Structure 1
Amino acid sequence: MSTATVDDAIARYLDHLTVERGSAVNTVASYRRDLERYRSFLDGRGISEIAAITEEDVRDFLVALRRGDPGSGVPGLADSSVARTLVAARGFHKFCTAEGLAGSDVAHAVRPPKPPRRLPKSLPVDDVLAILDAAGSGDGPRSLRDRALVELLYSCGARISEVTSLDLDDLDREHRAVVLRGKGGKERIVPVGGPAIDAVDAYLVRGRPALVKRATPALFLNVRGGRLSRQSAWQVLVDAAERAGVDKEVSPHTLRHSFATHLLDGGADVRVVQELLGHSSVTTTQVYTLVTVNTMREVYATAHPRAR
């Protein structure tokens, strides 16, 4: 095992991320900032060589990140930032071990803090219907496109990227179904509701032909005839929510959350919802059941005469 300084090892690791792994510039910059915090902490302990770092040092660094350590200039961070910084330190030590710069991976057993379980935000059905009514309220090509887009997002519980990447052949209007390509290129077939099919039909007949500038398989087009971007589709939804007077924060994922919550509220089996959402694990989908349980508690507390 060779002797390496912390500074040299960090430089080699950042080069590895850039050259061999092809990490994005912003990703490398983030790792650089996080490892700078780690180096400052080690400097405060008089540690300058990789071989001198112990598991206890890494655990103490985790404590310093959470509480702050003025002596080494490490600020106290939120749990999400603590987790990200520790991930950088763990990746660094794994690299040092693989490259023979350290005899063992002293960070392997040190785990980042588990983030609190956040309930997905969903909208009441009335708010969703108001947004759908406000999306593409006119009869022009863009209005027809916008209505079809938002209807499809909610009808399928699709991610925004799944809808903007749709081609004409992905939609089976006869059987009211669509092929969605999720994370990792995994395909799933999802049923499409009648109102969404009607909105898509109106767009295909009276809207899309006016937007086409050249041959393209894309279902949703921008005003230049190219495929509608995720950012533009996102803005369509935000504008519709504003026109509908919905004062909550609304994003494409809000409709996805609402889709899942409304299905479960209506009695759908959680494993069916898992398949519709394209979740690889039912555990991910079960988060939505917490929303419905909370709703039931609220209704019970306000409606039952002996609830209090």
Structure 2
Amino acid sequence: MILGEWAPAIPQTEPDSNPPLNLTGRPPARTVHELAHLLRTIAAPPAVMEATAAWLSGERRAAPATIRGYVRDASWWIAYATSRGLDLTNSDPIEADLYAAALRSAGHSDATRARRISAASSWYTYLVRAGRAAANPFGAGMERPRLPDVSATRGMSGDELERTLAYARERESARTFAILAVMVATACRDGSIIAAPLDALGHDRGHRVIDLPTKGGKTKRLILPPLAAEAAARYLTERGSAPGRLFITSTGRPIDQPYLYRLVKRVTRAAGVAEVSPHGIRHSVLTLLLDKGYPLHVVQDLAGHADPRTTRRYDRARESLDRSPAYELGQLLAAGVERHAGRWS
């Protein structure tokens, strides 16, 4: 931190007996229960715990995966503030800035720092609204990390996607091929494929469709092209009609995030493609569609992005000279110039 030259102007206080918090590794809380335990451990007022429970029940945090994400990210600030002996209900903006600097010093990416700061700010926004905190130290005026213009996620080319699917169809189980085919066809998030129920598959006006859970507890209906529809149908003949999640293991348990990560990495490696994560498949599909010239709003709708700027981060070719509108603009202007030629002769 760049504080040395300002040190003489800072009032001297009692030395902090708490060791600095390690802001990397396992989050202080990963579940709602762990967050409640953390708040009880630091003797948070019951009113703050009640408000925190209400905050996690909000519309933006309706999906279980979303709740877990907010819990993990908000818990870092709570643990950090506690390690510094701060009053969570009356924290100074300076402490929020120091926390942001500490995250940067810990080596976190811009995206990680922005996400953790956003979660803490969201928590405080609710506490202030509920009358449980004096102000939001992460509020207006705070300088936050800027997200990169291009997604840093490792993806695959169109050929590598095809190779991965071809390998899965020939060498893997019907379940594995169906999971990958649906992920590619829908560009869905990993949480959507994991949480999809058996009755998600269906028909709509002649289309084979799948209703996938999305952020905010909503459901989005997406087309399954023949490749994915046939893969899903083949898998269902093996799975059977037992109620529950659509994709289950050979022992009947629902697949989870670790299972999906292992599956994607194992298959891409076996197909001779650099290992990617489940999000890498989503990244690859969105990038491929934008590279093929599909309109931004069409790809945005498929991805379920609320903000088109998020979709733009997947557009590798947006600065390509081949896609520049300058030539078409030049033709229009040239035609206009010719039309007005001789007017002033």
Measured against the shorter chain, the TM-score band is 0.5 to 0.7
CA contact (8 A) 1:157 1:277 kept: yes
Q: Deviations over 1:123-161 (max 9, x none)?
A: 1111111221232534xxx70110111011001111122
1:293 alignment partner in structure 2: 318
TM-score w.r.t. the length of structure 1 is 0.67
Give a deviation string over 1:12-39, Cα, whole Å, max 9, x none: 6565554542378866752333214654
Measure how far apart 1:283 and its partner are.
2.8
- Alignment partner of 1:111 is 2:142: yes
What are the ranges of 5 or more consecutive residues in structure 2 without an aligned counterpart?
Answer: 1-40, 57-67, 325-345
Quick one: structure 1 residues 97 and 284, their matched pair in 2 at CA, closer, same or farther if it must change by over 3 Å? closer
User: Where in structure 2 are the equivalents of 1:46-195 lying within 5 Å?
Assistant: 58-59=93-94, 62=97, 66=101, 76-78=105-107, 80-81=112-113, 84=116, 88=120, 95=127, 99=131, 108-117=139-148, 119-120=150-151, 121=153, 122-135=155-168, 137-138=170-171, 143-172=173-202, 175-195=207-227
Letter in 1 for 2:235: Y
Residue deviations 1:26-56 (CA, integer Å, cap 9, x gap): 667523332146547xxxxxxx9x98x8xxx
d(CA) in 2 for partners of 1:81, 1:126: 34
Tell me what 1:272 maps to: 298
* 1:257-288 Cα distance to aligned partner (Å, 9 max, x none): 11111112222111111221122232322222
Instruction: State the SS of the aligned residue for 2:170.
Output: coil
Greater Cα offset, 128-137 or 79-88: 79-88
Q: Assess, with a 3 A threshold, how the Cα gap between structure 1 residues 38 and 111 changes in structure 2: closer, same or farther.
A: farther
Across the two proteins, how many residue pairs are aligned to each other?
262
Which aligned runs of 4 or more in structure 1 are off by greater than 3 angstroms? 10-20, 22-29, 36-40, 74-102, 104-110, 296-300
Distance 2:123 2:52 in 1: 13
Aligned to 1:71: none
> What secondary structure does 1:239 align onto?
helix
Alpha-carbon distance change, 164 to 116 in structure 1, aligned in 2, over 3 angstroms: closer
Pick from 232, 236, 255: which aligns with 2:263?
A: 236
TM-score (norm 2): 0.61
Match of 1:34 in 2: 80
For residues 99 and 256 of structure 2, the distance between their equivalents in structure 1, rounded to whole angstroms, comes to 42
Closer/same/farther in 2, CA of residues 216 and 63 from structure 1, 3 Å limit: closer
RMSD: 4.0
The aligned residue for residue 28 of structure 2 is none
The structural deviation recorded for 1:75 is 9.2
Give the AA of the match of 2:140. A
Distance change in 2, residues 1:246/1:266 (3 Å): same
List alignment gaps of at least 5 residues for structure 1.
1-9, 41-47, 69-73, 301-308
Distance in 2 separating the partners of 1:217 and 1:166:
9
The SS at the match of 1:172 is: strand
More off after superposition, 123-132 vs 15-24? 15-24
